[in-house]
Amino acid sequence: MTQSDLPVPPPPSDPAVPAVTVPGGLLDLSAAFEDALAAIEKREPRAEGRPDSSPHAAPAAAADSPAEPVQPSERPVPAALAAQLAIAQHELERARADNEELRRSYGRASSEAAHAQADLASLRRMIARTEQDLPQQTARRLLDGLLPALDHLTTVSEYLMLHEPLTDHGRQAVEMLNAEWRRALQRIQLEPFDALGMPFDPQRHEIIARVADPMHPDATVLRQAARGYLHAGRLLRSAQVVVNAVGAVARSTGDLDV
């Protein structure tokens, strides 16, 4: 009898186990049995009490067994560590207080800086106005010193024209001198104005005396001691005047009659 005539065992009854066909020879039969055993091992459950060596066995077992409670450490905190914790807490509180004080200081500094900027802007505007007005102020001071000389010149000219017998040549000379002075005053924007016979204006007139004259309206300029002057449209000197004050106004003021 040859190897090919040996009987082949029937396949297992388990339908999940694949049928093994042996084409021939003991080597092929041995390989077929090994494949069948491997298939059976895959199908049969693990025996009870047999430890599972798979990597998932340990977590499963740990899940099934009740976890033992972890006992907290009952050792007391060392005194040195407690002291360090207290010092750290104190330093933290002091740092918080310092931080709050810094916040308040920053707020005050910001407010003071805003006020300083506003003051600086105001100072710059004032300096700009001063620089703009400085030439005019210098000219006004210079002209104010010349006004007494102009008053004397005007008084002399009027006296000569009214009270002195002048020849035609003398009269023309005085008139030419007055005209030349008027042109010079116009060039430097100096303008004289008179107040005689006009109502009293406190913005342009300065009262040096009051008199009672019923022939003229009250608060009228009766006499002018010195004319007023404007420089560049602004008042340089008020006209010095005598104002009419009739009735009780003249008596109550106590001014001397001029």
Instruction: Give pLDDT, residue 258.
Output: 41
Residue 143's nearest CA partner among 229, 238, 225, 239 is: 229
pLDDT tens for 169-193 read: 888 888 898 899 889 889 988 999 9
Instruction: Give pLDDT, residue 227.
Output: 92
Average pLDDT on 42-69 reads 51
pLDDT tens for 135-176 read: 777 888 888 888 998 888 888 888 888 887 888 888 888 889
Asked if residue 247 is part of any domain, the answer here is yes
Instruction: Give pLDDT, residue 221.
Output: 95
Q: Which segment, 38-42, 46-50, 115-119, 206-210, is predicted with the most confidence on average?
A: 206-210
| DSSP SS3 for 236 | strand
Residue 239's nearest CA partner among 249, 229, 231 is: 229
Instruction: Give pLDDT, residue 133.
Output: 75
Instruction: Give pLDDT, residue 9.
Output: 54
pTM for the complete prediction? 0.47
Asked if residue 258 is part of any domain, the answer here is yes
When pLDDT is cut at 50, 70 and 90, the band that residue 256 belongs to is: very low
Q: Residue 203 pLDDT > 90, yes or no?
A: yes
Asked if residue 234 is part of any domain, the answer here is yes
When pLDDT is cut at 50, 70 and 90, the band that residue 250 belongs to is: very low
Asked if residue 225 is part of any domain, the answer here is yes
Q: How far apart are CA 197 and CA 209, in angstroms?
A: 15
Asked if residue 229 is part of any domain, the answer here is yes
CATH number, position 199: 2.30.22.10
Asked if residue 237 is part of any domain, the answer here is yes
For residue 241, the surrounding DSSP H or E stretch is strand 239-244
Within 162-238, strands assigned E span 190-193, 205-211, 221-226, 228-231, 234-237
Asked if residue 256 is part of any domain, the answer here is yes
How many domains does the chain contain in total?
1
Provide the domain limits for residue 198: 192-258
Asked if residue 219 is part of any domain, the answer here is yes
Q: How far apart are CA 152 and CA 172, in angstroms?
A: 19
